[in-house]
Chains A and B, each alone.
Chain A
């Protein structure tokens, strides 16, 4: 109990943050793992009431967490059940694995589900590359260079973060349809190549501001120009924020429904979300099992990214509130 109170929780963001320059960017670098002295509370931990309080907290968290996760677990289990059981069995017990939902679902649409996964993968990879390259370039200019109109442009950049995309979607659609890009992946990728995900520009600006200016000044004295400073000094130090950008772009693009719904009408070009939607329309309530099976398949990449990228996800959210 005392150990629990005196040690900072393992893997806690503050403990890890202290080592990265991104932390300084947020002005919270002074608060390392020692930021809040837990020792002072250690004495309280001996009391009975504190013990009971901690137990009550765990009970509350386990119950709420259980309710939160239950639907997801239930979906996983249901995808492994015969169809008629799904409507009768609210529990999580399995009597044998029923893989037919997966095989049926995989080939239920005009293309095997892997085809849609591949389409999604192409869009995701293109978007990630686009965001990494163009956002980091813009961020370098905003964070390190002096130029006329800097304040104005920076303000506009911040405002575009909050602009609802509905205001631009109709003309964008008209534009892309006139150049013949409907039913191609270009309308989903090209905007990323042009740094329209301004949130990442902002995130990167914040990060670069935390990198000591002396580093690029030293490089400049050695005769390096801006491209070299950017590529050789700044970019290698930006790995954590680039990772955050990659992970969020992956998840958002993989889940993007609206864009794909508008631009991809040919089943050949469907990404996973629109394919799932087509699945719902074609089968409706008759085959929840295979619908769930393919839903699980579609969530799997996001879940894996979540599993391996958690540290960057949490940090990214805590910094600027992207979701």
Chain B
């Protein structure tokens, strides 16, 4: 069971508690908090404390040197008029709304091809999964920078066919596309989740459909897709949350400045520049909370929309 389905089934109640259980509970209570101590300290010091602090800082002007100065909604009104921020939002939304569906579609397609007892599955699975593991590294981002450079691998291959390719990364119209491609390239981990999901679909459905003379495409639309919808939903939620936070690839590929002409200035990259480049910590905090709201909204929309397309077997 996934974290997401666990979260949505949390509200279920429990039966009445007997005296015996109550005694056991009291004994457990102390032990439980001892076991939870590291996590609880972390929750307070590393997570909730800083969250409250950053909420406060979002309403201040703070540069690390002078104490924070309360400026009310100033940071947020500044955000309204900040064209670079609007651009970074556009870049990030494009990345998420194009990259995530594309990546999941490829992941599902390959998972479908791999599913039906094909020889050499472990080998193929490894080949497709490896980029997922390496994709977040600086090393692969460096590789990408070269591949899509003016004299890079892609253009070398194109030259063999007599085509003079553009400077993919130095051209604002293609730079974001090459980073999206890097994201799609790392489709291995959702693919593995899809593979696991496909194994859960009882074969009798397909057998029954075959008896009724269903075509491959019909089986896909009527059986595979509905039965897989909780897994698709799970992947979608996770990938959207993760993609909004992408940073390394854009940072390395663009040389840390989101260029050319801010075409790869991701929201997180701009946040980093504001907070840790210019030490405008108040503004960076306001941006972080805005990001949280965006991710929260997307997740909520996902959950609401899921009622109409996610099919649960039970």
Q: Which residues of A contact B (CB under 8 A)?
A: 4-5, 8-14, 26-28, 31, 35-38, 40-41, 54, 57-58, 60-61, 64-65, 68-69, 71-72, 74-75, 86-90, 133-135, 137-138, 140-142, 145-148, 150-151, 153-175, 177, 190-191, 193-196, 199, 201-202, 206, 225-227, 230, 251, 254-255, 257-258, 261-262, 272-274, 276-277, 280-281, 285, 288, 291-292, 295-296, 298-299, 302-303, 306, 310, 313-314, 317-323
Q: Which residues of A contact B299 (CB under 8 A)?
A: 162
Establish whether residues A90 and B156, one from each chain, have CB atoms under 8 Å apart when the complex forms.
yes
Chain B CB within 10 Å — which of A61, A151, A230 has the most? A61
Neighbour of B288 across the interface among A27, A150, A167, A319, CB < 8 A: A167
Q: How far is the CB of B38 from chain A (nearest CB, A)?
A: 4
Q: A172-B46, A321-B2 are in contact. Are A167 and B39 (CB under 8 A)?
A: no
Who on chain A is nearest to B113 by CB?
A57
Contact check, B39 vs A195: say whether CB atoms are below 8 A apart. Answer: yes
Chain A nearest CB: distance from B244 CB in Å?
Answer: 7
Which residues of A are found within 8 Å of B117, using beta-carbon distances? 4-5, 8-9, 38, 41
Which residues of A sit under 8 angstroms from B29, Cβ to Cβ? 146-148
CA of A16 to CA of B191, assembled, Å = 19
Q: How far is the CA of A321 from the CA of B132 in the complex (A)?
A: 12
Chain B residues lying within 8 Å of A292, measured Cβ to Cβ, are 142-143, 146
Query: Whole-angstrom distance between the alpha carbons of A162 and B193 in the complex?
Result: 18
Which chain B residues (207-260) contact chain A, with CB distance < 8 Å?
207, 234-235, 238, 241-242, 244-245, 247-248, 251-252, 255-256
Q: Is B304 in contact with chain A by the CB < 8 A criterion?
A: no
CA A109 – CA B281 in complex, angstroms?
31
Chain A to chain B: the 6 pairs with minimum beta-carbon distance, closest first: A194-B42, A295-B139, A147-B32, A171-B50, A318-B196, A171-B53
Q: Which of B140-182 contact A (CB under 8 A)?
A: 140, 142-147, 149, 151, 153, 156-157, 160
List, in ascending order, chain B residues with CB within 8 A of A314's CB.
125, 129, 192
- Tell me the count of chain B residues lying within 8 A, CB to CB, of chain A: 110
Known interface pairs A167-B291, A314-B125, A321-B189; A72-B130 also in contact (CB < 8 Å): yes
Q: A68-B128, A194-B46, A298-B137 are in contact. Are A155 and B10 (CB under 8 A)?
A: yes
Contact of A194 among B38, B125, B144 (CB under 8 A): B38
Q: Determine which of B39, B57, B137, B202 lies in contact with A302 in the assembled complex, contact meaning CB atoms within 8 Å.
A: B137
By the criterion CB–CB under 8 Å, are B36 and A138 in contact?
A: yes
Nearest-neighbor residue (CB-CB) of B139 within chain A: A295
Chain A positions within 8 Å of B116 at CB level? 41
In the assembled complex, the CB of A246 is this many whole angstroms from the nearest CB of chain B, namely 15
Of A12, A154, A162, A318, the residue contacting B121 (CB under 8 A) is A12
Known: A156-B43, A194-B41. A306 touches B196 (CB 8 A): no
